[in-house]
Amino acid sequence: MGRKSAIVRFHRAYWPGFSDQGDRTLLKPQKPENEAARLAALHRYEILDTDGESAFDDLVAIVAGVCSVPMASVSLVDADRQWFKAQQGLGDSTETSRDVSFCGHAILNPLQPLIVPDALLDERFCNNPLVTGEPCIRFYAGAPLLGLDGVAVGTLCVMDVQPRRMEDFQVRALQALSRQVSYLLELRRVSRQFNLQLQEREWYEQQLQHYQTELEAQNADLAEQTRTDPLTGLPNRRAFAAALATHMQKPTSGHARLAIAVLDIDHFKNVNDLHGHAEGDRVLVELAAMLKAQFAGRGMAARYGGEEFVLLMPDTTLEEARLQCEYVRQGVAVLPLGLPLTVSIGLACQQQDGNPEDMFKRADEALYRAKRNGRDQVVVA
């Protein structure tokens, strides 16, 4: 009663004509004009009321993590219900009525995600029992799942009990992952067709294995994208920060300590301006390959952003780290790129009771001293 009274007071404050009498009606989602074709596409997948599958569960877990929400689901919209192929944070629910579903509204515009920052401020949902009662949805974002013929059969959606707004990268991730769910649905349909003929034709068995392997690779890529730079293949800034924090917790002995270096390509803007961004990307890829080869057996090389890279050197004396950076600097100068290239490097070693942020800041300050002193050199913090 306390929650219901609060909601009534809220709506009276913002809508003077609001009444909590029994004549209020729920704004049910309309059915799209292509409803018959949409349902036919959904039923071709033969997926409704099937058991859970880890591939769908994994995608739900990933989208919930990327969007930082407690609830997410792969929802398929049938004629009169919304059924969950996979869900997180919704208890034991497997389906809800289509009349109260957010996803029923989301499929009306197949080409755009539906984002509801605060359901209590949206006339379509303010009276919805999923908002006024359990699971108390306040925020919703759903990206339609499209079949091969372009009709929306459901959504990949995220929800929260708090109103919120999505960052641009989260919206893009939600849309990208919804495409992966659609692809998975199609692979599952094709796999079912192949399974019917596995005993008759060996070709079908080979194709099924190919699709399964491709699906596993794509799922692995999705997880890898959160910690890998897509251009160079090196670990990204997030992965480097995690590795640095882990290594700083390890005990050191003698003169061997943890060292990091920040590397920046000198005058990289000139490369892009004079030779084009494609050539700039080639330079970054070639430099990344050299760094990856040098630090493959020990430590880590990562792309921090733009033309800036970071090097992690564990169990290394300061002099060893400096020599290693000098070796990198000299190696860059002789890369077979067809154009002159130099780098400036700032180096810092772990200090007692230091933290990752301070250590990186000292290396970064050393890098800028190297640039002010003429570039193409290694400066120790």
Chain-centre distance of CA 316, in angstroms? 34
- Phi-psi region for residue 119, left (φ > 0), alpha (ψ -120 to 50) or beta? alpha
Angstrom distance (rounded) from CA 98 to CA 79: 8
Residue located via tokens 């290594």: 247
Please answer whether residues 292 and 233 qualify as being in contact, where contact means their C-beta atoms are separated by less than 8 angstroms: yes
Helix ranges, 226-342 (H): 237-248, 268-275, 277-294, 318-333
What does the buried/exposed string (b/e) look like for 122-157 if buried means 16 or more CB atoms within 10 Å of the residue's CB? beebbbbebbbeeeebbbbbbbbbbbeeebbbbbbb
- Residue 276's SS3 state is coil
Catalytic residue list contains 33: no
- Phi-psi region for residue 203, left (φ > 0), alpha (ψ -120 to 50) or beta? alpha
- CA atoms within a 13 Å half-sphere pointing along the CA-CB vector of 188: 21
Kindly name the residue from 307, 319, 320, 365 that is annotated as catalytic: 307
Residue located via tokens 């859970």: 52
- Residue 311's SS3 state is strand
Angstrom distance (rounded) from CA 299 to CA 259: 10
Q: What tokens were used for 103? A: 């996803």
Give the other-Cβ count within 10 Å of 203's Cβ. Answer: 10
Q: What tokens were used for 268? A: 């990289």
Angstrom distance (rounded) from CA 137 to CA 329: 55
Where in 40-161 does DSSP place strands (E)? 71-77, 81-88, 95-97, 114-116, 139-146, 152-160
| Active-site residue set | 307
